[in-house]
Chains A and B, each alone.
Chain A
Amino acid sequence: MTWTAGFATRSDGTVGKNGSEACETLRNKLLFHKESPFLSEEGLSDPGPEIALRTAHQLTVENDGMADSIVLPRAVSRTDVIREICQHLAPFQIGEKPITGSTVIAKDLAIDSLAIMDMVMELEDRFDVSIPMNVIAEIHTVDQLADTIRELRARN
């Protein structure tokens, strides 16, 4: 999804935190557009102005020679997270047994503790969260991992 901001980036290179008029316009577009990823799946709701500003580091600016466009990745749904986890676990699948939300990672898959931690590190980078080792120790199923990731994303 792309919104063309229609203005040049500010002289200090930042994209809005001090509320210049153009940035206000952009922020409102991000929040209230019916396709905005900041609206939850369940319905239209306004998560608040802080959200748009805090995720600025996820925004990238693309220039097509005429205008700067701010490109935002799609918001991450629970299905997205589960799908991503299953993709990472696929190499460790045992036979034809499918990987589902209730799969117990250390028991139902051919994966050792180090490989689990390495996979978690990949997911941390993919979803831009940090999962402390004591929290990893308490995660047993794919569902629990997905919920932890979403919880940590929401806190940020």
Chain B
Amino acid sequence: MGLFDRHAGLLEAYRGVRTTGADPFQIRMERVLSPTEAIINGKKTLLVGTNNYFGLTFDPSCMDAAIEAIRAEGTGTTGSRIANGSYNEHVALEHEIAEFYGKKHCMVFTTGYQANLGVIPGLVGQGDFLFIDADSHASIYDACKMTQAEVIRFKHNDPASLEARLRRLDQKQEGDKPGNRLVVLEGIYSMLGDSAPLKEFVEVCKRYSAYVLIDEAHSLGALGEHGRGLCEAAGVLDDCHFVVGTFSKTLGAIGGYCVSDDPDFDILRVTVRSYMFTASSPPSIVASVRQALRTVKARPELRKQLWDNVATLYDGLAAQGFKLGPEHGPVVGVHLPDRETTIAFWRAMLDAGIYVNVATPPATPNGVSLLRCSLCAVHTRGQLEHMIEVMTGIGRQMGLLPPPKIRAAGGL
């Protein structure tokens, strides 16, 4: 049997994708011109499918900080944090992130994926219990496979579903030695852009003595009065025992972190394998991320610009009859009937000079297929209105939208 035979089913499905036109998984950015524009297939294309929420990848101060760091310290650390890869700047970044959240400790990882992979198994093991939202990110599901703790899923964003499972655990554990309970939530879910009812979740966790870990990958900068995310916006920052985040979205680079007030948190530095046995972030990334964090703090108007753009796109598409997610969010998911339609729509948009992401099962919850549009603070109103126009045209052509209302003359 060939090594790749077990992927035969996927290969078949994938062939189907390729025959419908361009392959969304093989797009090449020939040149990236700005946070919102790139050359794709030889044509200038509007980018509405990045996670560049504040557009900081081209912010001059962030770029200068990175360039400066390369000149001062070279292109890479070539070592792990527990060997030669901890520079002053890595430690300074950790202190600055901890201070940003008002927490005592912070651990920085080379990628956000590694942060989840490392922290979650570091916190729970044999005899413990892990509760995760059904729509959790792949990194959280993978982290679950790496621990001996019992893992139980609850319905997406449903505190009652979590409560039922915690209650069952309480009933079962009469007389047993109770293990620790850790509940993993996300601030903004990456597919539909909806947020967790965090206050209700935290109440349930308190009632059943469960620790809370919240992954704020998409919410840093976007939510909260100071951009600290959903835990700040919901007023429960003190009740979130662990906050995990990433540098690859609002902060415009790559990397991850976890903050906590737990006095023993630092022991994780000598037990978490995805921290110990991997190279640390290059100095340029540490520098640009530190500057991006300063920018998030110093320029709250970027948050307002982002949400103004969210409103423009969300409301504009809704008005034309597109089926969207439940609420405004930096990610606007447009539901389409099936995978083939979605890919055809995506291809039509690309041909018209607009790039968005495609998400289809099994990567999406509930078997939905969607176009995933993510907003940037530096998108212009004109760009988004043009996008709505193009999408409406394609939608009508494909018979997916109700026809435009015809206004009778004379008020008949």
* Chain A residues within an 8 Å CB radius of B161: 121, 125
Closest chain B CB from A99 CB (angstroms): 19
Closest to A54 in B: B171
Q: Give Cα A125 to B155, complex, Å.
A: 10
A128 contacts the other chain (Cβ, under 8 Å)? yes
Binding site for B on A (CB under 8 A): 54, 112-115, 117-118, 121, 124-125, 128-134, 155-156
B362 adjacent to A133 (CB under 8 Å)? no
Is A128 touching B134 in the complex (CB atoms < 8 A)? no
With A125-B161, A156-B171, A156-B172 as contacts: A134 and B361 at CB distance below 8 Å: no
- Across the interface, B155 reaches (CB within 8 A) one of A121, A129, A133, A134, namely A121
Which of A114, A128, A131, A133 contacts B361 (CB under 8 A)? A114
Measured between alpha carbons, how far is A69 from B151 in the docked complex, in Å?
Answer: 38
B369 to chain A, nearest CB (A): 13
Extra contacts, 8 of them, besides A114-B361, A114-B365, A130-B152 (Cβ < 8 A), are A112-B361, A114-B362, A117-B134, A117-B153, A121-B161, A125-B161, A133-B153, A156-B171
| CB <8 Å contact, A130 and B134 | no
A133 near B144 with CB under 8 A, answer: yes
Check if B169 is an interface residue, CB within 8 A of chain A: yes
Give every chain A residue within 8 A of B165 (Cβ-Cβ). 124, 130
Residues of B within 8 A of A132 (CB): 150-152
Q: Which residues of chain A have C-beta atoms less than 8 A from B154's C-beta?
A: 121
Q: Which of B127-184 contact A (CB under 8 A)?
A: 134, 144, 150-155, 161, 164-165, 168-169, 171-172
Residue B197, interface by CB 8 Å: no
State whether the Cβ of B367 lies closer than 8 Å to any Cβ in chain A: yes
Residues of B within 8 A of A131 (CB): 152
Distance between Cα atoms of A129 and B167 in the complex (Å): 10
Do A156 and B134 touch (CB < 8 A)?
no
Measuring CB to CB, which residues of chain B are less than 8 angstroms from any residue of chain A?
134, 144, 150-155, 161, 164-165, 168-169, 171-172, 361-362, 365-367
How far, in angstroms, from A18 to B183 measured CA to CA in the complex?
34
Chain A residue at minimal CB-CB distance from B152 = A130
Show 15 A/B contacts (Cβ-Cβ < 8 Å), sorted by A. A54-B171, A113-B362, A114-B361, A114-B362, A114-B365, A118-B134, A121-B134, A121-B153, A121-B154, A121-B155, A124-B165, A128-B164, A130-B172, A132-B152, A134-B150
Q: A112-B362, A114-B362 in contact; A128/B151 too (CB < 8 A)?
A: no
A156 vs B164: C-alpha distance when bound (angstroms): 14
For the complex of A and B, list the 3 residue pairs with the smallest distance between their C-beta atoms, beginning with the closest.
Answer: A132-B150, A133-B151, A130-B168
Given the complex, which residues of A lie within 8 Å of B153, measured CB to CB?
A: 117, 121, 133
Measured between beta carbons, the chain B residues less than 8 angstroms from A114 are 361-362, 365
- A101 smallest CB distance to B (angstroms): 25
Given A114-B365, A115-B367: A133 and B152 interface contact (C-beta under 8 Å): yes
Report chain A residues within 8 Å CB of B144: 133
* B64 CB to nearest A CB, Å: 44
* A98 to B153 CA separation, bound complex (whole angstroms): 29
Closest A residue to B363 by CB, please name it.
A114
A132 to B155, CA, bound (A): 14
A131→B154 CA distance, assembly (Å): 11
Task: Kindly state the separation between the CA atoms of A155 and B168 in the bound complex, as whole angstroms.
Answer: 11
Chain B residues lying within 8 Å of A117, measured Cβ to Cβ, are 134, 153
| Nearest Cβ on chain B to A112's Cβ, whole angstroms | 5
List chain B residues, Cβ under 8 A from A118: 134, 366
Q: Chain B contacts of A128 at CB under 8 A?
A: 164, 168
B172–A155 contact, CB under 8 A?
yes
Bound CA span A124–B367, Å: 20
Which of B151, B153, B366 counts the most A-chain CB atoms under 10 A from its CB? B153
Smallest beta-carbon distance B204→chain A, Å: 15
Q: How far is the CA of A121 from the CA of B158 in the complex (A)?
A: 12
**A115–B152 Cα gap in the complex (Å)?**
15
Q: In the complex, which residues of chain A have a beta carbon less than 8 angstroms from the beta carbon of B365?
A: 114
What separation, in Å, do the CA atoms of A115 and B153 have in the docked complex?
13
The distance from the CB of A41 to the nearest CB of chain B, in whole angstroms, is 24
Residue of A nearest to B169 (CB): A130
Q: Which residue of B lies closest to A129 (CB)?
A: B168
